[in-house]
Amino acid sequence: MSAVPEIITDEAAFLTFNMLWSSLNEVTWFVAGFMIFRLALWAGIIPSKLGPSFMKPKGTRPAKNTSVESSPVSQAICRDSAAGNYESILASWQLEKEKTHLSGSALQAVSQALLKLDSASLTEELTDYFSRHPSRAKAHTVNSIVGELLRGGHAHLAKDFLAKLQAEKLTSAIPLRSLDAVVAAFASQADVESVKELLAAWDNESWGSGANAAVRGFVKSRQPELALEQLAQLQHRGLQLQAATASGLFASITSPKVGISLGRLLESLKGFSIPAEPLAGLMQTCLTEKDMETARALDSFCREQKLQLTFAISEPLLKLAAKKDEAWAMALFQEMQEKSMFLSEGLCGSVMASCGEPRHIQLAEAIQKHLRDRKMTSLATYKTLMKVYATCNLLEKACNIYEDILADEIKPDQVMINCLLKFALKIGRNDLSQRVFSQGGYDSNSVLWLIRAAGQQGDLKQVFSLLQEQESKGAVAAALYNSVLDICMTHGTEDQVQELFVKMRSKNLVTLVTFNTLMKGYSAKNDFQKAHALLKDIKSCGLTPDSASYNCLIGAAVAQGNHDSAWAVFNEMGKAGLEPDNFTLSIVMKIVRKTANRQEAQRGMAVLDNCHFKICEDEVLVNTVLDACIHLRDIPRLKWVVSEIQRAKMIPSVQNYGLIIKAYACLKDIDRCWALWQQMTKDRGLVPSDVALSCMLDAMVSAGQVEAAIELFREWRSLVPPNTIIFSNLIKGFAARGDADGAMKMFEELKEAGLQMNLVAYSTLVDAQAKSGNVEKAMELMSEMRRDGIEPNTITYSSLLKGLCMKGDLDQGLKVFKEMASLGLHPDTVMFNTLLDGAVRCSRFSLCDQVIEEMKATGVEASNFTTSIVVKMWGRRRKLEKAEQTVREAAWAGKQQLDSKLCTCLLSACFHNNSPMRALELLQEFKTWPNCDGADSSTYEHVVENLMKTKLLKEAVEVAMEASQLAACHASLRPLSLDVLRSLQVALERKGAEKLFAPLQDISNAATCLIPEGEEFTQSFGIPDSVAVKSAGNGISSKPFW
């Protein structure tokens, strides 16, 4: 396991400590400033009027007039308002409005009551009161009344109220914020005319504030065009954009309901002096949402408009860039230093911590250098850098940190010591282990790592010396003994193992881990029998074997290729009441990947079907499951796995990305491959591994995007050093589209790069030349291959043989076949298929018989393609019964799953032999055959088309009906194509039998409506144990998915 998790808690502690330390500093400086300011006030250095009232000397504080606030009438009205007694409020109002000065709270309560019971008279009532009592017409009171009206949705009433106050010469009581609020209310209702009317009556300064409010209101009402139009008017008058307006506009970018694009908004904001606060707020949102595109655009906008990039803007921008783009982050970091911004230890630590996953080593080291130059390094920052190195598997650099720590006079804590020992162990730095250990301050975990380091060197003397030293100090933990036992199993003798085991038993330190350690050791020595016998010893000691015990045995059996023993242990595990866990399933997937037995592979996949845990929680398990499904070309299960990955919202590692891309390539979904590639490289800023790049290139060339693959290869070549596998995929792309010259150019480029060709690359080149008909060049490549010390295999010979057969040169092909056999290479199924197919094409049936007999004699298993070639051969030889017998025997033998293409081939042989009725009989018989997928939509289309050719229109309609009924109730089958249905309809109309088509059309329409499309199908696809859907109309049943 990686050492990274051991550092995570310390990094969190570092961040927490830094936050607390910063807060403490701020409080300390605030208290100091407060005391100095207060002393200055008392000494008269600062005028007392500049200080707050509570800091003024006693006797200078003005007496507060509370007569209005504490009047009985005001208090009574406020109490009635709290109780919701609006009638009582209005009764008091009518009695007291002419003679009593009411408080602001009481007037607000009166406005509420009037709104509820007599809104028509509200404007008249309140303005009359303020006219009689002008001292109560205060801005804050008017503003609270306007706010009450607007909260109730009475914008027009608020407008009339303010207009009435203005008419009564009470303009001074009308605050600008009330006018803005009314404008914003009309704008939020998209009432353009009222907005224009209000703004037209104001002077230029008031107009600017109102226009800002209108922009905010239009954004709230989701009227982007009106908002931008108002913004343009504001700019035309050269007025200021308020911070709140800018914040509202920026918030609209992230709201799809408003619909203002980032580019359009920034274009509209050109020329404004935008306050820093909203810019900083938007940048912080970009950091939270990991929105790199918006952050880049905003950064460019600020620079173009010469807006100051304050620390509040630059800080989140740097943090985001650190996760996505190292070069950009480096430039920002340098710029912040040049602007003399204070880069605190906390900020530097946070940015450095972001460098691990995207492998931004240069940035992390630049930050560390900045801290060291200013003597700001601490144990926490060194731990963060160590974590970055460990995440990137740069353990040598992680170990070298020790020198800098000592130079900076920082004392490592126990966690760092253990990590250093662990890293030193992994890279063989025994000198560092000894040096760290000699400094003292170690604990039992440190000793454990030292023992493991000595064990890695095979130094048993040192191992036992360390153990004896710990024994002399007192009790030793079982974990330490188990580690020594593990080393003895690897480097020691059986006597040493038994002696140590006896000692552990005498100290009562034998645990289940002890037995599992022994089991692992014997398994590594390929002594499966001794490892398996330990199960009885475990039980005899009163212990119960756990999943780890059984997984160890299953893994050992699989490593030895002993699958029968692996399944036997798997069954024992089930009898013990233990469910397979993620480790068990991962081992079983290896069986699936290795086995050539189809039934064993299906048994392994059944374990996957029955697992009751989430596979996406284990990256290794996801990889093994994907690899097994891709290997088997098990499309239904592969769709299920990728849908589980999407549903779990799994964040793949760089290693995961390669196989997930490969899975989507297998599903022929190149768009999803591109989406994953963009997510990995653009959104997350990760540098792909050579495996991930190879998988992406393979997906692209398989989809025919060879030019784009070459472009992608050139783009990443400087960051991901090319290898032979990457070149092989590109060569394959050119070969697949028949561009033998392009394949040779890539071959030349590979040699120029100083890379060594491998067997796959040479075989692909041979295949490209053979397919293009240039067999002589293919033979030259085979000679060059041998000169490079690479011997051709059956795939290489098969490609050459296929080229010869395509040219019709079977005699030369037979020579190649015999040459391969003379070299000790055993022809495989593909080789026999190639020769057999060539013989059938050339109608050399005696050679066909010879190849079939030799294939049986050598024990080579026939594939579906083999059987289809044999069926085609018997069809051409006019021996239909032989073709039927071949397929029937293959189905009942159970050695292969007959696919729908093979069924189509047999039906085609029937039509070729003028036996259409026999084809119809076989179409129904397929449903009863074991190990047979039966007919699919393409099969039905083939039958319908051939029945039309033989003028059997009634039978064609019946078959089309059957296919359409299946498609209507079975989501995995597509309906018949429109071209086939149109052809059948035209044929029926010509015969005057168009009535036969009506029921078929209804069923076909229903089936078409059930076709799932695109992403919805991928996400809704489930893998059932077995699917057998029967149509109520005719008892037609479909086959299971597998």
Q: What SS3 string covers 577-635?
A: CCCCCHHHHHHHHHHHHHCCCHHHHHHHHHHHHCCCCCHHHCHHHHHHHHHHHHHHCCH
Give the pLDDT score at 1005.
58
Query: Got the DSSP string for 422-483?
Result: HHHHHHT-HHHHHHHHHT----HHHHHHHHHHHHHTT-HHHHHHHHHHHHHTS---HHHHHH
Name residue, tokens 């049986």.
Answer: 856
> In this predicted structure, what is the pLDDT of residue 696?
94
pLDDT for the residue numbered 766: 87
CB-CB neighbours of 644 under 10 Å: 16
Q: Where are the beta strands (DSSP E) in 490-612?
A: none
pLDDT at 210 over 80: yes
AA identity, residue 215: V
Structure tokens at 937: 């939509």
- Inform me whether the pLDDT recorded for 972 exceeds 90: no
Cα 459 versus chain centre, distance: 45
Q: Residue 912's pLDDT is what?
A: 92
Judge contact between 1022 and 639, C-beta under 8 A. Answer: no
Residue-level pLDDT at 41: 58
The full length of the chain comes to 1042
Residue scoring higher pLDDT (597 or 659): 659
CA 875 to chain centre: 51
**Dist CA 124 CA 104 (whole Å):** 18
pLDDT greater than 80 at residue 968: no
**Per-residue pLDDT at 495 exceeds 90:** no
For CA atoms 737, 740, 743, 745, the dihedral sign is negative
Q: Are 866 and 829 in contact (CB under 8 A)?
A: yes
Give pLDDT, residue 415: 83
What is the token pair recorded at 823?
């070299």
Higher pLDDT, 622 or 421: 622
Interatomic CA distance for residues 956 and 974, integer angstroms: 18
The rounded distance, in Å, linking the Cα atoms of 242 and 275 is 7
| pTM exceeds 0.75 for this model | no
pLDDT digits (tens, 9 = 90+) for 360-413: 999 999 999 999 998 899 989 999 999 999 888 888 888 898 888 888 888 888
Confidence of residue 872 (pLDDT cuts 50, 70, 90): very high
Identify the pLDDT of residue 409: 87
- The pLDDT confidence band at residue 444, using thresholds 50, 70 and 90, is low
% of the chain exceeding 70 in pLDDT = 88
Contact by Cβ (8 Å): 909, 943: no
Q: How confident is the model at residue 263 (pLDDT cuts 50, 70, 90)?
A: confident
pLDDT band, very low/low/confident/very high, at 1 (cuts 50, 70, 90)? very low
Q: Is the pLDDT of residue 457 over 70?
A: yes
Q: Supply the pLDDT for residue 571.
A: 93
pLDDT recorded at residue 45: 56
What are the pLDDT digits (tens) for 17-56?
A: 555 666 676 677 677 777 776 666 565 555 544 455 444 4
Task: Examine the pLDDT at 307 and tell me if it is beyond 70.
Answer: yes
The Cα 448–Cα 773 span in angstroms is 65
The answer for residues whose C-beta is within 8 angstroms of residue 168's C-beta and 6 or more apart is: 127, 130, 131
pLDDT band at 105 (very low <50, low <70, confident <90, very high): confident
Residues 6+ apart with CB under 8 A from 1029: 966, 969, 970, 1037, 1038
Q: 108-111: long-range contacts (C-beta < 8 A, 24 or more apart)?
A: 108/141, 108/144, 108/145, 108/148, 109/77, 109/78, 109/80, 109/81, 110/77, 111/145, 111/148, 111/149
Whole-angstrom distance, CA of residue 336 vs CA of residue 279? 17
Q: How many CB atoms lie within 10 A of CB 770?
A: 27
Q: How confident is the model at residue 554 (pLDDT cuts 50, 70, 90)?
A: very high
Average pLDDT, the chain: 82
Identify the DSSP state of 65. -
Query: Cα dist. 411→20, 359, 378, 440, 447 in Å?
Result: 22, 27, 10, 11, 19
**In b/e form, how buried is each residue of 79-116, taking b as 16+ CB within 10 angstroms?**
ebbeeeebebbbebbeebbeebbbbbbbbbbbbbbbbe
pLDDT in tens, 593-629: 998 888 899 999 999 988 887 888 888 899 999 999 9
CA angle 173, 174, 180 (to 5 degrees): 160
Strand partners, 932: 898
CA–CA gap between residue 838 and residue 911 (Å, rounded)? 23
Rounded average pLDDT over 134-142: 80
- How do residues 892-925 score in pLDDT, each as one tens digit? 888 788 889 999 999 999 999 999 999 999 999 9
